[in-house]
Amino acid sequence: MIYRWNPVGSRVIGNQRRSFGTGFEWYQDIQGTMAASDVSFHRLQDGTGLLVVANSQGTSQNGTGRGSASIFEFNATSRTFENIQTLECMGAADVEPFNIPGEGDFLATASRQNESFVLPSALEHRDHATWDSEFSVYDQTSIIWKWDAVRHQFESYHILAKILRLFLTPAIASLIDCEG
């Protein structure tokens, strides 16, 4: 669902019911998202508005761990967001659209982990270290995408190396020459 800010008057709160006063109101239901972990809005250099959603999971329970970045374009005529592209990601965790003057519009997608998530009921007896090791893994490649105005979509621009997370104990850290 997409909500918008309504600073005055009545607002729609769902199922076409109304409430009076300021606040967020329902704007649009969107299809093609599942377990959204991040949402960003970006205005392209040509003025087009894009809504980008990082979907940390696939579209079914069997798709756990597989995710995508859904790209929605704002249609000024219908005043709705329309899905124009889906970028495959593995456990999409974050999306960051940005512009580099003279170069164009870009989108960074951060993929998280290839491992399946543990169900919350199984987490009751896990300590912080176990939680951190299982849910802080960024073992998938992340990608920088560049907007192609002619094709009206993002194209793969640069693949980032997998992030390897090291936990250094004081004994191991003392063996590494950090001065050098």
CATH of the domain at 103: 2.40.128
- Cβ–Cβ contacts within 10 Å for residue 173, how many? 10
Counting the structural domains of the chain, the total is: 2
Separation CA 142–CA 123 (nearest Å): 28
Among the ranges 20-34, 88-102, 123-137, which has the highest mean pLDDT value? 88-102
* CA dihedral of 71, 74, 77, 82, whole degrees rounded to 10: 30
CA dist., res. 49 & res. 39, Å (int): 13
Whether residues 72 and 138 fall in one domain: yes
Least confident of 11-20, 26-35, 97-106, 137-146: 11-20
Q: Give the tens place of pLDDT for each residue, 122-168.
A: 555 555 555 555 555 556 778 899 999 999 999 999 887 654 444 44
Residue 70 lies in a domain: yes
How large a percentage of the chain has pLDDT more than 90? 29
Q: Do 4 and 53 belong together in one domain?
A: no
